[in-house]
Amino acid sequence: MKPRLMITTANDTRDKHLDALARFLGPTDSLVVTVDVYADDGRMILQVPLDPEAEVVAREHPRLQPGGLTEIISYIRCPKTTQTLELTVDNAEVRTRREIVPQIKRAATKGGKTFDTA
């Protein structure tokens, strides 16, 4: 069974959820955090892991930011070596793309244990 969670934004609760998700990581997996930002006028900034096996396993509740922005934080299970792209989209057209360093929150070790990378 694959875990699917909606995580609250309270730090202590978030850590408990991340620890629970970490139990499902394979020896080469990690939990990566992506932050997507959506604007009222059709602009977006998206972070996308490039591994075909990357899978969203949890999301935080959307956060409303000043200026009509909505921020969605997702937790994605993917291999530790996954590359991530950040795309800037304007009215469904990709304007810029750049490779970024993924934000790894939890990672598995060879022995099956996990550690917090935050």
Which residue segments constitute the domains of the chain, with CATH numbers given? 5-116 (2.60.40)
Beta bridge partners of 107: 30, 115
Confidence of residue 12 (pLDDT cuts 50, 70, 90): confident
**Which helix (H) or strand (E) segment is 96 a member of?**
strand 93-100
CA distances from 7 to 13, 47, 67, 72, 97 (A): 8, 19, 24, 11, 28
Which one is predicted more confidently, 19 or 89? 89
Q: Structure tokens of 117?
A: 């990378």
Q: Structure tokens of 50?
A: 């490039």
Instruction: Report the chain's mean pLDDT, rounded to a whole number.
Output: 85
**Which helix (H) or strand (E) segment is 60 a member of?**
strand 55-60
Q: Structure tokens of 79?
A: 């291999």
How much is the average pLDDT of 11-21?
A: 81
Distance CA 69, CA 96 (A): 19
Q: 34-49 burial, b if ≥16 CB within 10 A, otherwise e? A: bebbbeeeeebbbbeb
Check residue 21 and give its pLDDT. Answer: 83
Quote the pTM value. Answer: 0.82
